[in-house]
Amino acid sequence: MTDLLLKNVRPLGGAAVDVLVQDGRISQLGANQQAPAGVAQEDGQGALLLPGLVEGHTHLDKTTWGDAWYVNNVGSALTDRIDNERQWRAKTGHDARTHAKALALAFLKEGATCIRTHVDVDTDAGLKHLEGVNAVRDELADRMRIQTVAFPQSGLLKRSGTAELLDQALASGADVLGGLDPSAIDRDPARSLDVLFDLANKHSKPVDIHLHEPGDLGAFSMDLILDRTEALGMQGKVTISHAFCLGALETPRLNGLLERLAHLRVGILTTAPASRPVPSVRACRDAGVTIFSGNDGVRDTWTPYGDPDLLMRARLVGLRNDFRRDSELAWALACVTGAAAKACGFTDYGLHVGARADLVLVDASCVAEAVAQHRPKTLVVAAGRVVARNGAAV
């Protein structure tokens, strides 16, 4: 059932309207809509209406969601975490498909209808994790949109054979090509990025590069990424995730990079971590750079944190950026709604006629309250289907 009349809801806190959904899309939006014969009706009771939430960067394949608690005693270097996880997966036989599905459904219950998930591809596991998550993507396609990113978590050049695996991954259904710290991990930034961009170009796929490199090193790698984006005409097809360097540069250097990012339409993903320098949401927006957000890992061997409720991520974006005004909290929401959809290329998105009917009702007076306070969701509609009601999956 993908037809529905949703009565008395307030889009982004505006005046109350009714939303008519037909064939899984918004077909009418306005006062006093009537349900065609046989169409189910929901009373929104004046709730705040948000578009489906967008998880712009997570790792469905890594999660221990649904398992016993993973006791974390891992070292604090990036390579400690990478090596620990690869060994843990090999030892436990962790099944990416089962866990990815459990977490995807937890996201859906909390109103996330679009997800970009990075999936590890490495020479130990090959494409096993990716095949599992691709299967979940296809299985849940009637309810949610999941993009898979073939992600060389253990490095691209560092472990021989990885590029070939990524090539196969893109040929066999990964939606996006992932990358990782061409300087700090691969130790050969120019060659690493050449190999990566050649693969993306060969398969005509977008790129999403995890760039943890700090300060001037990160800025150096970022320029190399932007050079290749420009040379290959990949404007609008590249995301740089984390981009911590943008939080720790002198202003002229920062402004030069922001200008270039805007010009090449490269998106910036921030999880808004509290313990590191981060790109400023305000500075990116002011420069015309699309900045968006997501959890990164949820309950995995890397992190005990993460929450399928993306309004919590919006709250963390707000806290990290010291957003207190209602107008600023709307920017935090954009990071997990419209800006994320735009950056990831989820089309037909939003609260307008013709968009997919991905709708979230929140018992809140306005967007700011929904972001800053933990308010319950009363209804989640995904592609026109009611998938959760009052916090419980339907």
Segment interacting with its own copies, rule: CB under 8 A, options 2-10, 91-99, 240-248, 305-313:
305-313
Q: Does 372 bind its own copies (CB under 8 A)?
A: yes
Per rule CB under 8 A, count of chain residues that contact its own copies: 40
Q: Does 107 bind its own copies (CB under 8 A)?
A: no
- Report the SS3 class of residue 142: coil
Is residue 240 a contact partner of residue 196, using CB atoms and an 8 Å limit? Answer: no
Of 113 and 271, nearer to its own copies (C-beta) is: 271
Is residue 354 a contact partner of residue 26, using CB atoms and an 8 Å limit? Answer: yes
Contact with its own copies (CB under 8 A) among 35, 102, 366, 386: 366
Token pair listed for 103: 């977490």
* Closest-CA residue to 16 (of 294, 361, 315, 344): 361
Q: Does 316 bind its own copies (CB under 8 A)?
A: yes
Segment interacting with its own copies, rule: CB under 8 A, options 70-78, 88-96, 133-141, 155-163:
70-78
Contact with its own copies (CB under 8 A) among 107, 292, 302, 346: 302
Burial of 23 (0-12, 13-18, 19+ CB in 10 A): exposed
- What's the DSSP call for residue 69? P
Of 104 and 314, nearer to its own copies (C-beta) is: 314
Distance CA 169, CA 176 (A): 9
Segment interacting with its own copies, rule: CB under 8 A, options 21-29, 66-74, 142-150, 239-247:
66-74
Determine which helix (DSSP H) or strand (DSSP E) holds 376, and give its type and residue range.
Answer: none
Q: Does 325 bind its own copies (CB under 8 A)?
A: yes
Q: Does 187 bind its own copies (CB under 8 A)?
A: no
Minimum CB separation of residue 268 from its own copies in Å reads 18
Q: For the residues of 25-48, what is the DSSP string, one character each?
A: EEEEEETT--PPTT--EEEEEEEE
Q: Does 123 bind its own copies (CB under 8 A)?
A: no
Segment interacting with its own copies, rule: CB under 8 A, options 140-148, 165-173, 319-327, 379-387:
319-327
Backbone angles phi, psi at 201, to 5 degrees: -65, -45
Determine which helix (DSSP H) or strand (DSSP E) holds 115, and give its type and residue range.
Answer: strand 112-120
Segment interacting with its own copies, rule: CB under 8 A, options 141-149, 235-243, 258-266, 318-326:
318-326
- Report the SS3 class of residue 179: strand
Minimum CB separation of residue 300 from its own copies in Å reads 11
* Closest-CA residue to 262 (of 278, 241, 242, 238): 238
The residue with tokens 């006791």 is 71
- Report the SS3 class of residue 319: helix
Q: Does 352 bind its own copies (CB under 8 A)?
A: no
Of 133 and 364, nearer to its own copies (C-beta) is: 364
Q: Does 365 bind its own copies (CB under 8 A)?
A: yes
Q: Which residues bind its own copies (CB under 8 A)?
A: 68-69, 71-74, 76, 272-276, 299, 302-305, 307, 309, 312, 315-316, 318-322, 324-327, 329, 365-366, 368-369, 371-374
